[in-house]
Structure 1
């Protein structure tokens, strides 16, 4: 009994000390985004992640989302996070191609992995470790926080039947897709999503690619271009990331870091599911509005594929981190090729 009585003050002291050790820390960040929060599966994923973080943290982790241009320019999220202008931001990875070349293949690898396989490589094939390695010198901690189905290949004012039809075409494309269109003779411009409708309407552009059919519908492209092409060879998966300033990230408690990363992982699943759930209705709507849906023929896909291999070889030769990551991606794809060829029903099979 004496021993027990002596132990009571010690237990009380431990309980009193627990809140300061285990308490959830308070986080208040403004999160600029590269695309509007109204855009299905693309822009509405980060707001969903923000709401879930509030719930799992009891309201102490609040990542307030800001629309493009409200805090920083739509294409300036990476720079703002890297320099510490903001604690974190949400963006497609690849707009920072000039400073971090490897970012382009993390955002979307032409003729690369679709979303489920890309996630497999990221989480179980070494992709995430390579990503952290690549961005560390830029003072950024990137977290995969959304991944969507293949994009549409592009909206055009005229039919595209042969590679010659791309010569001199004024076209908007991002990252590696843009380099491939340039190699095939197009005049490529990089504009944010909010400026594309007007550019098409006024003839500044002859065509554009941007995102999923459902997102392209929200941006009104069907009103100003009537030829919509698929498949999205340039972006079989499109991947969004929460960029966190590395110094800010390192100051967080492990509990908070885990909450953010786990909620972003859930965001990948939510974006993937929503993207798959909403495209059929968008295509049906386009047809009712007089849009002609096309698939690029083999001649076009072969031309894109050849140009893609050339661009990827050129980028690999210029940047060791690009090559290291591309080699890892390619090895993972090749290793899984037989499983995909044998394990999944052919897409043209109908029961």
Structure 2
């Protein structure tokens, strides 16, 4: 079929209509363009302690980058950098504090050497579930202490992710009795590591990328790291076959967005609210994805020959007793830790009363 010629007058009318529409809409368009151009552009570098390829732990951090851009309409650019690209993983705290970096993605327990009380905001042995942990942070006094600790170092922290209960770790040999911990060389995180030291273990804190080589070479006899889906990704099953539960040391784990305090204070109220919204969304993402991925991960680990174990009641009792001793010692040596620990215990005690009366789930 040939091309049908369009009458000249039709083209003239269409051109006129388009011109009229353009002239009628231009004031609004100009206002929108002006509003966009007037928004200050935030460009931050965010160093991470976890690689972006690592499910949950790293992907939550990478998600901050895309969410900030989407929620702000492109005016907030928080660029994710892989571990070591800007600073060694365990030096991010100082780099942000001094202003050498604008932001970082991590978990508060890594900074126990700077502020022992920050361990309260990472994970607690025999500690609260995710919803109880968040409730205490938001409404039980946790946030005020958390901000006080970070502001002391010119950092503003935001809880920006959470993961569900972890596994209790990978071991080359079975742990059948409390005495099996004595002399055990193990990578263990945070307060849980202090508990194992009470039972005679030799505890090291290694960054994620250093764990598998140490386990494979025999530098360590065991390790804990995260939930089964993450541990599967890390490949620990290739070097140790005994996988233990329950994750007594980390029933839920907080992750954080750390921001240089001067940079945070330079934001306007809308920008601060947008970044807080990013973190609220990320918390939900971590909880839902963290729960959803574990069933398939456990099935795959089983197919790879992993042996699943549960710690005996005697071992769990010994671990909980040791945790009580660690908490008492930290409270005696650090007033901020004592304040936060007392606050959390009182908050949980109130919840326990309601559970015992049958008003809350057990």
Alpha-carbon distance, 1:24 to partner: 2.8
5 Å-filtered alignment, 1:36-75, equals: 36-75=51-90
Equivalent of 1:282, from 293, 297, 311? Answer: 297
- From 276, 283, 287, give the equivalent of 1:272: 287
> How far apart are the structure 2 equivalents of 1:178 and 1:19?
55
Tell me the C-alpha RMSD between the 2 structures. Answer: 1.8
User: Do the aligned residues in 2 keep the contact of 1:25 with 1:253 (CA within 8 Å)?
Assistant: no
Which residue number corresponds to residue 135 of structure 1?
150
The yes-or-no answer on 1:310 pairing with 2:339 is no
Number of the residue aligned with 1:162: 177
If the length of structure 1 is used for normalisation, what is the TM-score?
0.91
Alignment of 1:209 onto 2:224: yes
Larger Rg: 2
In structure 1, what is the equivalent of residue 3 of structure 2?
none
For 1:24 and 1:275, the matched residues in 2 are separated by 36
Paired position in structure 2 for 1:9: none
* TM-score w.r.t. length of structure 2: 0.88
Tell me which residue corresponds to 2:48. 33
- Cα distance in structure 2, aligned partners of 1:343 and 1:286: 37
Deviation string for 1:233-277 (max 9, x for gaps)? 111111100011111111111111110011101111110111000
SS of the residue aligned with 1:228?
strand
Q: Cα offset for 1:26?
A: 0.7
Aligned equivalents of 2:251, 2:111: Cα separation in 1 = 20
The secondary structure found in structure 1 opposite 2:220 is coil
| Contact 1:173-1:190 within 8 A present in 2 as well | yes
SS in structure 2 opposite 1:76? Answer: helix
Q: How many residues align?
A: 332
Q: Give the direction of change, closer, same or farther, for the CA distance of 1:264–1:168 in structure 2 (3 Å limit).
A: same
CA contact (8 A) 1:171 1:206 kept: yes
Worse overlay, 43-52 or 273-282: 43-52
Tell me if structure 2 keeps the 8 A contact 1:41–1:272.
no
Unaligned runs of 5+ in 2: 1-26
Say if 1:96 and 1:345 are closer, same or farther in 2 by CA, change over 3 A: closer
Aligned to 1:190: 205
State yes or no: 1:98 paired with 2:113: yes
Match for residue 3 of structure 1? none
Q: Hey, what does 1:252 align to over in structure 2?
A: 267
